[in-house]
């Protein structure tokens, strides 16, 4: 087992990894920018080291992070998600310094991070992929020619893209010509590479992904699927596990495809194989995420498998200790990304000080967060401030419990997506599991809600004010 782990991340995922380390009896080391000096992950870790005044540079500097790990006596680094979590260079630097990277190998990260290489690997393994360019596009004329052969609409994508960035839908040649240079620019700025490819656009698909785990002995299992179709501009908002839109035959099919995809590239550790499901119920490989996902929580809730703990054990050279037949689905789970955004103002970020925060509670309720009362959300990072996870035995119970839990949480001082999610829960198409990735765009009325405080919210504010008065 690894003896000491540096967490090359921040926020709720850093706190989540610290908790796993503590359960395993492994000391944890946090890193932080000046903007994160008072962050919760800094308070919870056994040790913490500063990265400097720049809010981003330190989290994106593989050599500085590994230097800190070596100086602190760490033999492992967990990258979390985002930042350098899918950086082959980071994994290579760790390896060169004798520090275990808690994730797949640098070679696998590089191959799956290149979307055209990933497509080629899946085609070779017999995994269905959407029709698209065989490699990177040479120029806009090459794009126009290939798009004409495939047929519009098409998706123009950054080859090294991720997180919903560097993607543009083009419905005709004019839009393709207009968007080509924009995607090139986005790819260069976000990923450092001006490489793009195109593929057929599956219109309003369902977005289904499969959680996989692979050990260093070649064993691979899946933890069933998650439905990520409720998304806005390719950014996920609500995730569900298992998908309420699949039948058992589809569930087993996509699970088997994910395991086959992982074995085809000798995948180790935790990862996610993402698919699109079209209106004819055909699955198409989209991409492989070589890291722990934001939404890993709901797979944990329905299977009872601690994914982050398994990541650390696998990186330590331990076998999975699980066979596919051991993994069963128990109930339904939903994750709501509580973002510091204002849905009534085009989802404008709402950074600021959290004056009061009360976590939701009760049966089937879990909150992964790094916020607390008095904490100021820095404007330099992602707007997600908490993940609210709800479990219930069946779909109808999940709906009612989710509504109760979203009403239970109290977060003052900033605008959040909570009332927006309450509207989604009431929509008949969501309740009857009749939704796809076009759901949010097709329902602009979801942002129509009142911000008038309920009696219980007023009582909470009064109680907080009285408590503050007494403390003076």
Catalytic residue positions, numbered: 291
DSSP strand pairing (206-214 vs 220-232): antiparallel
How many alpha carbons lie under 13 Å from residue 107 in its C-beta half-sphere?
Answer: 4
Supply angle C-alpha 374, 375, 378, rounded to 5: 145
Neighbouring C-beta atoms of residue 416, cutoff 10 Å: 23
The rounded distance, in Å, linking the Cα atoms of 406 and 4 is 37
The reply to whether omega before 364 is within 30° of 0 (cis) is no
Span between the terminal Cα atoms of the chain, in Å: 49
Residues 66, 77 contacting (CB under 8 angstroms): yes
The reply to whether omega before 459 is within 30° of 0 (cis) is no
Residue 410 phi/psi, 5-degree rounding, is -130, 120
The rounded distance, in Å, linking the Cα atoms of 256 and 323 is 13
Question: How is the chain split among helix, strand and coil, in percent rounded to 5?
Answer: 40, 25, 35
Residues 239, 226 contacting (CB under 8 angstroms): yes
Q: What 3 state SS string does 399-420 have?
A: HHHHHHHHHHCEEECCCCCHHH
Q: 294-328: buried (b, 16+ CB within 10 Å) or exposed (e) per residue?
A: bbbbbbbbbbebbbbbbbbbbbbeeebebeeeebe
The rounded distance, in Å, linking the Cα atoms of 251 and 256 is 9
> How many residues are there in the chain?
472
The rounded distance, in Å, linking the Cα atoms of 196 and 231 is 23
The rounded distance, in Å, linking the Cα atoms of 3 and 378 is 32
Q: Coil, strand, or helix at residue 458?
A: helix
Residues 17, 81 contacting (CB under 8 angstroms): no
The rounded distance, in Å, linking the Cα atoms of 378 and 358 is 20
Token pair belonging to 108: 């696998």
User: In which residue are the tokens 């903007």 written?
Assistant: 35
């Amino acid at each position: 087992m690894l003896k000491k782990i540096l967490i090359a991340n921040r926020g709720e995922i850093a706190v989540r990894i610290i908790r796993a380390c503590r359960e395993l009896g492994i000391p944890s080391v946090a890193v932080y920018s000046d903007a994160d000096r008072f962050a919760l992950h800094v308070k919870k870790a056994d040790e913490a080291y500063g990265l400097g005044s720049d809010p981003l540079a330190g989290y994106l500097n593989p050599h500085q992070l590994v230097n800190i790990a070596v100086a602190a006596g760490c033999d492992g680094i967990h990258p979390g998600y985002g930042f350098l979590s899918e950086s082959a260079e980071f994994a290579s630097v760790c390896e060169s310094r004798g520090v275990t990277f808690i994730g797949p190998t640098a070679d696998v990260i590089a191959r799956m991070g290149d979307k055209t290489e990933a497509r080629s690997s899946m085609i070779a393994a017999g995994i269905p992929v959407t029709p698209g360019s065989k490699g990177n596009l040479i120029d806009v004329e090459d794009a126009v020619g290939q798009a004409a052969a495939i047929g519009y609409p098409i998706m123009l994508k950054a080859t090294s893209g991720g997180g919903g960035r560097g993607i543009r839908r083009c419905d005709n040649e004019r839009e393709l010509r207009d968007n080509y240079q924009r995607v090139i620019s986005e790819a260069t700025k976000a990923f450092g590479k001006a490489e793009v490819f195109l593929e057929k656009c599956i219109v309003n698909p369902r977005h289904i992904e499969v959680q996989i785990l692979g050990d260093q002995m070649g064993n691979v299992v899946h933890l069933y699927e998650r439905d990520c179709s409720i998304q806005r501009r390719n950014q996920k908002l609500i995730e569900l596990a298992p998908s309420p839109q699949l039948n058992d035959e589809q569930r087993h099919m996509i699970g088997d495809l994910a395991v086959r995809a992982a074995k085809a590239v000798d995948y180790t550790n935790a990862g996610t194989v993402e698919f699109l499901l079209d209106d004819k119920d055909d699955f198409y490989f989209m991409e492989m995420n070589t890291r722990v996902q934001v939404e890993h929580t709901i797979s944990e809730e329905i299977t009872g498998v601690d994914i982050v703990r398994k990541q650390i054990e696998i990186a330590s050279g331990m076998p999975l200790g699980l066979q596919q037949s051991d993994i069963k689905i128990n109930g339904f789970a939903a994750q709501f990304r509580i973002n510091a955004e204002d849905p009534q103002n085009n989802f404008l970020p709402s950074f600021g000080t959290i004056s009061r925060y009360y976590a939701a509670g009760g049966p089937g309720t879990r909150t992964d967060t790094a916020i607390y009362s008095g904490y100021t959300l820095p404007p330099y990072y992602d707007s997600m401030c908490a993940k609210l996870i709800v479990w219930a035995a069946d779909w109808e119970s999940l709906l009612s419990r989710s509504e109760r839990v979203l009403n239970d949480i109290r977060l003052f001082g900033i605008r959040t997506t909570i009332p927006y999610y309450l509207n989604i829960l009431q929509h008949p198409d969501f309740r009857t599991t009749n939704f796809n990735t076009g759901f949010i765009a097709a329902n602009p009325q979801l942002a129509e809600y009142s911000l008038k405080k309920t009696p219980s919210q007023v009582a909470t504010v009064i109680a907080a004010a009285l408590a503050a008065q007494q403390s003076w």
